[in-house]
């Protein structure tokens, strides 16, 4: 069931709500430059196991409105809060991929984890996608600036080339075409401005404000958000557990989808998730 939630007077966010009578609610936030449709291989499986799956399209992406402004983490987190309040969500699992993971982290810090029981981060764009003093693990800022320039000059070609770094495993051509169709639904303006957001913004101070049990899933071959980012998240979030995906790049929710879904369900159902051992290998 799809519907829209107004988050500002002239901005509506698209929400896909699957199995509203589910036993637990998982709110998914997609990454750049995708939409909630990227979680098809979770939405095909988890509702059958009794979970309510809610996917939102961030502003500028998918079926949401595409205003000229508002493509910073604070505004994205506020949009999520508006959806949470409109739907009356409580005791839910907040799950974010890539820039959606960064948005989820900012939500936890900015809105004090309002309504969230547990947090799941996968290939999250945090604490910084780009290199900074004291944090040499990200991409050069110039590389992201080049993505932005390519977006303004030839966005289809930029997205075609992005696929080479997004996935580790071989993809069929029809699947690749499907992914790009999802990406084409974004506005070029939003694509560029969100890239500027993850180039320029960081979340070092946000990590320590997360109080809920947190699952971190990350592919060891990720060339977008490097594995060192996951290690930094695990170090910065007190109640976190890190699970590595040995055969995945940035698209682990598809590349190792069975393991991904199992780990997510295990985390949701485990009553002892506040007690964590050292990271899995």
Q: What is the DSSP letter of 33?
A: T
Q: Which of 30, 97, 218, 250 is catalytic?
A: 250
3-state helix, strand, coil in the chain (%, to 5): 45, 20, 35
- DSSP H or E stretch at residue 188: helix 188-200
Q: Which of 19, 222, 234, 248 is catalytic?
A: 222
Query: To 5 degrees, how large is the angle CA 63–CA 69–CA 70?
Result: 80
Active site residue 222: yes
Do you find a cis peptide bond into 52, omega within 30 degrees of 0?
no
Beta-bridge partners for 51: 24
- Taking Cα atoms as reference points, which of 246, 267, 248, 271 lies closest to residue 46? 267
- Do residues 18 and 54 make contact, with C-beta atoms less than 8 angstroms apart? yes
Crossing angle for the helix pair 99-110 and 188-200, to the nearest 10 degrees = 60
Dist. CA 126–CA 48, nearest whole Å: 31
Q: What is the DSSP letter of 279?
A: P
Q: What is the DSSP letter of 57?
A: P
Q: Is 188 exposed, middle or buried (0-12, 13-18, 19+ CB in 10 A)?
A: middle
**Left, alpha or beta for 123 (phi > 0: left; psi -120 to 50: alpha)?**
left
Active site residue 187: no
Q: Which of 57, 79, 97, 98 is catalytic?
A: 98
| Greatest Cα pair distance in the chain | 50
* Active-site residue set: 98, 222, 250
């Amino acid at each position: 069931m799809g519907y829209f939630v107004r988050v500002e007077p002239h901005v509506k966010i698209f929400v896909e709500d699957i199995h509203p009578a589910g036993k637990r609610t998982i709110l998914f936030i997609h990454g750049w430059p995708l939409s909630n449709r990227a979680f098809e291989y979770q939405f095909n499986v988890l509702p059958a196991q009794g979970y309510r799956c809610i996917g939102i399209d961030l502003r500028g992406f998918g079926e949401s409105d595409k205003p000229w402004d508002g493509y910073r983490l604070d505004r994205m987190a506020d949009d999520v809060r508006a959806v949470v309040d409109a739907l009356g969500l409580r005791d839910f699992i907040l799950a974010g991929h890539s820039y959606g993971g960064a948005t989820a982290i900012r939500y936890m810090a900015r809105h004090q984890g309002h309504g969230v029981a547990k947090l799941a981060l996968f290939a999250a764009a945090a604490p910084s996608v780009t290199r900074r003093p004291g944090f040499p693990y990200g991409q050069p800022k110039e590389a992201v600036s080049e993505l932005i320039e390519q977006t303004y000059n030839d966005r289809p070609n930029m997205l075609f080339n992005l696929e080479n770094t997004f996935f580790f495993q071989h993809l069929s051509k029809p699947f690749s075409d499907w992914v790009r169709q999802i990406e084409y639904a974004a506005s070029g303006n939003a694509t560029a401005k969100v890239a500027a957001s993850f180039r320029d913004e960081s979340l070092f101070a946000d990590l320590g404000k997360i109080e809920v049990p947190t699952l971190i899933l990350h592919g060891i071959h990720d060339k977008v958000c490097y594995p060192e980012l996951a290690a930094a998240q695990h170090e910065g979030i007190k109640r976190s557990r890190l699970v590595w995906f040995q055969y995945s790049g940035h698209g682990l929710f598809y590349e190792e989808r069975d393991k991904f879904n199992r780990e997510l369900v295990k985390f949701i159902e485990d009553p002892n998730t506040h007690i964590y051992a050292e990271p899995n290998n």
